[in-house]
Amino acid sequence: MNRNWLHILRRTTQIFFILLIILAPALDILRIDTDTRSLIVFGHEWSIGLKEGFSVDPSLENASHVAWRFFLKALLPWIIVLSVFPILGALTGRFFCGWFCPEGALFELFDFLTVKIFGRRSLLGKKPNDPGISAQNRAPYVILALLCMIAIPFLMGVALTGYFVNPRTIWGQIMNWEFTFGVKTGIIGVSIYIFISAMIVRHTLCKYVCGAGLMQMLFGWASPLSVRIKTDPAKLAACTDCKGCEKVCFMNVKPRLLRKDINCVNCGECISACKKELGEEKAIFSFSQTRHCGLPGKEITKRPDDDSSLDLNKPMRNGHYEKTCS
């Protein structure tokens, strides 16, 4: 798959998931109706069906029926919901973060705009993996950034409040520009959170705060099966040290290091960058389920034209690496 296809596929999955998160309450796919105090799942009220409980029939048979329904309708859904991210992490590492997470996609959008305006990803200062391009022709990006700063937090505020208040009620209040306390609090609270996280915190939130990310990180780190980026040591001699793979990495990972980096979200941008530099055949990275790192043995740690050991925990120096992988 060439550079654009991997990149386009990822952007498509991100847009699809953002639309799903925004439209789920409006389409009654998932929301809580605070008026009726019920959970709506795919247009139906999710009920344990035990309103009358034991009072109707206190027999042993009915007691086991009540217990079974409680397990199926109350406990099992929570077990499934809570196990989604550990299972995803064990099988795919942080793939969800890189390919689906709406907040991650939003942070990437603001990274893009900040790079175009200031020539670096963060508003707070330069990072080691910044693309290093000079900011030019800023005006259209400044206008776009201002629009995004206003519209996106508000839109997300409305969309996420819709999980707790009927979206039709919210829409009616927006049309009349008259809000109940709950709707106003929901929209303003979510808007402030989205604004601060997208402007200032960004991927630091993914690394240290997000519960879903941390679960994927932990289970992905421990699992021998989880997908990760593999560096092919046999191809390292072709590396031109262009640093393209590092500059595209918004998680500030150095993909050429052979140790696992728990912050990698398996976005595949480094694969694309290396393919662009070296071509499809010589590109160094690929998705893999290798247990530790890409180095299977010591022989292969020697570069063909160089007797030095490879140390991929250090930047490339004088055209070669040092180190072996444990």
Q: Which residues bind ligand SF4 (CB under 6 A)?
A: 98, 229, 239-245, 248-249, 251, 253, 255-256, 264-270, 273-274, 277-278, 284
Check the CA dihedral 320-322-324-326 and report its sign.
negative
Alpha-carbon span 22 to 54, nearest angstrom: 40
Which stretches of 153-196 are assigned E, i.e. beta strand?
A: none
Q: Which residue lies nearer to ligand SF4 by CB, 157 or 255?
A: 255
Q: Which residue lies nearer to ligand SF4 by CB, 156 or 274?
A: 274
Alpha-carbon span 275 to 7, nearest angstrom: 12
Shortest separation between residue 235's beta carbon and ligand SF4, angstroms: 9
Shortest separation between residue 18's beta carbon and ligand SF4, angstroms: 19
What DSSP state is assigned to residue 133?
P
Buried b (16+ CB within 10 A) or exposed e, 136-146: eeeeebeeebe
Q: Which residue lies nearer to ligand SF4 by CB, 108 or 191?
A: 108
Shortest separation between residue 203's beta carbon and ligand SF4, angstroms: 9
Shortest separation between residue 21's beta carbon and ligand SF4, angstroms: 22
- Dihedral pair phi/psi, residue 45, rounded to 5°: -75, 125
Shortest separation between residue 275's beta carbon and ligand SF4, angstroms: 8
Using CA atoms in the order 239, 245, 246, 250, what is the torsion angle rounded to 10 degrees?
A: -170
Q: Are 234 and 288 in contact (CB under 8 A)?
A: no
Give CA separation, 317 vs 140, 243, 308, 312, 314, in Å. Answer: 40, 13, 11, 10, 8
Q: Which residue lies nearer to ligand SF4 by CB, 18 or 257?
A: 257
Alpha-carbon span 178 to 184, nearest angstrom: 9
Shortest separation between residue 239's beta carbon and ligand SF4, angstroms: 3
Start-to-end Cα distance in the chain:
31
Q: Which residue lies nearer to ligand SF4 by CB, 103 or 269?
A: 269
- Dihedral pair phi/psi, residue 31, rounded to 5°: -170, 160
Q: Which residue lies nearer to ligand SF4 by CB, 170 or 274?
A: 274
Check the CA dihedral 45-47-49-54 and report its sign.
negative
Q: Are 232 and 286 in contact (CB under 8 A)?
A: yes
Q: Which residue lies nearer to ligand SF4 by CB, 167 or 294?
A: 294
Shortest separation between residue 39's beta carbon and ligand SF4, angstroms: 35
Q: Which residue lies nearer to ligand SF4 by CB, 116 or 254?
A: 254
Element (H, E) at 31: strand 30-33
Give CA separation, 264 vs 89, 160, 235, in Å. Answer: 12, 28, 21
Shortest separation between residue 238's beta carbon and ligand SF4, angstroms: 7
